[in-house]
Amino acid sequence: MNLLKLAAVSMSLISLAACGPGGKPPGGGPGGGMPQVSVVTLQSQKVTLTTQLPGRTSAYRVAEIRPQVSGLIQKRLFTEGALVKAGDVLYQIDPAPFQAALDNARAALGRAEANLPSVRARAERFQELLADKAVSQQDYDDASGALKQAEADVASWQAQVESARINLGYTRITAPISGRIGKSNVTEGAIVTAYQPMALATIQQLDPVYVDVPQSSSDFLRLRHRLEQGGLKHGGKEQNKVGMLLEDGRPYPRQGVLEFRDVTVDPSTGSMTLRMVFPNPDGVLLPGMFVRATVEEGALDEAILVPQQGVLRNPKGEPYAFVVDNEGKVGMRTLTLEREIGDQWLVTTGLAAGDRVIVEGVQVLQRLRPGTPVTVKAEPFQAGATPPAGAQQANAAAPNGAAK
């Protein structure tokens, strides 16, 4: 009797082990049926490819203020850090010696001009007398030479008057451009010299501002090759528009323009400089700020995007995905990924429009094997990774381990 009870208990334990967790028969679906999976049917769509490049801002124009004449600083006529306009007087150099030099030059010019009429009349009379042989040729030559020297003296003093007038004007040091002026390096009473190495102050025009970012020459060659092969389409004037992220990660509200790409590669870094111009009416951007510029590379008319949860990697790091064929069986595709777009991958090879990619989850996907029959869930896959129906914006973050 005890042997019969022991045999009954053993059979019960074997039945429970065969049922699996929860007392249900083994298998992916209810009642031991085929595994149920969720799929996304891929559709080709237009994607605008962009890349984010780090860079720094710089002033649109910079003017270092230096004196053009030597002298004593009498006044500083601006407030440090304020906005100044072109033509505003910034410093006043003592004008007294320059006014005296101008007055002296004007007096000398007056003497030369007063002497000129008599010398000219004498030369004209000698010319008439020479025709009648009343004076010698030597006398006429002397009179003619004296006239030319008097005319030269007048011209020389006119130039000296103009030079003195210019130097007097240079005693009023004015702003050559409009912008924000920094601190003053001199105070009243300082002696300055013409064209001295140290600037008195610096003016920077901050609206608009430049953003200079480096781009590797290899990326430039790759982009150019794809454009030439037709893999990318140039966006025309729209492609010259660029966006920007500030240091704190917030997007800058105004678009900039790609002004030019440098024609020289820095041999130490292997990169070239892209220069962009951004409007800055609110003064948010200051010179030297670190930013990230979003540059448009081009457009793909028939791009294939797959949700990231549908992409797995083998022990070598190579990406692959499971698909469901027309017979309801699982197939495995080896992928070539180009870059990450939000929570999706841009697929270069391995998938095509119309493929049904399994996106059930990593644990379920890893238990699947090629050729396994599955049941596709009737309800559509719902996730934030579902690609919208319009053009997408792509950044240039390359996938780890993805083949290029």
Q: 330-334 and 319-324: which strand pairing?
A: antiparallel
d(CA 35, CA 366): 13
Q: In terms of domains, do 153 and 302 share one?
A: no
Contact indicator for 182, 202 with CB cutoff of 8 Å: yes
CA atoms of 178 and 82, how far apart (whole Å) = 11
184 domain residue, yes or no: yes
Asked if residue 336 and residue 189 are part of one domain, the reply reads no
Number of domains in the chain: 3
In a domain, 11, yes or no: no
Evaluate whether 399 touches 345 at the Cβ level (below 8 Å): yes
Strand partners for 339: 346
For residue 145, give its domain range.
95-169
pLDDT in tens, the chain (404 residues): 444 444 444 444 444 444 444 444 444 444 446 778 888 888 888 877 778 889 999 999 999 999 999 999 999 999 999 999 999 999 999 999 999 999 999 999 999 999 889 888 888 888 888 887 888 888 888 888 988 999 999 999 999 999 999 999 999 999 999 999 999 999 999 999 999 999 999 999 999 999 998 887 777 777 666 666 555 555 555 557 888 999 888 999 998 888 877 778 888 888 888 888 999 998 899 999 999 988 877 777 778 888 888 888 888 888 988 888 888 888 888 898 887 887 888 888 888 888 888 887 545 666 777 888 888 876 666 554 444 333 344 444 444 444 33
For 194, the token pair is 């013409």
Looking at residue 327, what is its pLDDT?
A: 84
Handedness of CA 308, 310, 315, 319 (dihedral sign): negative
Q: How far apart, in Å, are the Cα atoms of 188 and each of 92, 176, 218?
A: 9, 21, 55
Q: Which residues contact 311 (CB under 8 A, 6 or more apart)?
A: 319, 320, 321, 335, 337, 345
pLDDT for the residue 119? 87
Task: Return the closest-CA partner of residue 67 out of 86, 99, 95.
Answer: 95
CB 291 within 8 A of CB 58: no
Cα–Cα distance, 191 to 74 (Å, whole number): 10
Closest residue by Cα to residue 298 from 344, 234, 378, 342 = 234
SS3 content of the chain, % helix, strand, coil (to 5): 30, 35, 35
Reading the block at residue 97, the tokens are 């010696």
pLDDT given at position 348: 83
Query: Taking the model in full, what pTM does it have?
Result: 0.64
Last residue of a domain, one of 198, 215, 249: 198
Q: Does residue 156 sit within a domain? A: yes
CATH of the domain at 182: 2.40.50.100
Q: Are residues 104 and 224 in the same domain?
A: no
Task: Give the pairing type, strands 45-65 and 392-394.
Answer: parallel
CB 331 within 8 A of CB 370: yes
pLDDT score, position 130:
82
Instruction: Tally Cβ neighbours within 10 Å of residue 120.
Output: 15
Q: Is residue 17 part of a domain?
A: no
Q: Are residues 191 and 240 in the same domain?
A: no
Q: Does residue 384 sit in the same domain as residue 270?
A: yes
**Residue 106 located in a structural domain:** yes
Structure-derived torsion over alpha carbons of residues 84, 89, 91, 94, reported in degrees to the nearest 10: 180
Q: In the prediction, which pLDDT does 391 show? A: 38
In angstroms, rounded to a whole number, what is the distance separating the alpha carbons of residues 265 and 286?
A: 27
pLDDT for the residue numbered 361? 53
Task: Give the CATH number of the domain where residue 378 resides.
Answer: 2.40.30.170
Neighbours of 46 (CB within 10 A): 13
Alpha-carbon span 34 to 368, nearest angstrom: 11
What's the confidence (pLDDT) of residue 366? 64
Give the C-alpha separation, 171 to 101, whole Å.
13
Q: Which of 402, 394, 400 is nearest to 45 (CA)?
A: 394
User: Which amino acid would we find at residue 182?
Assistant: G
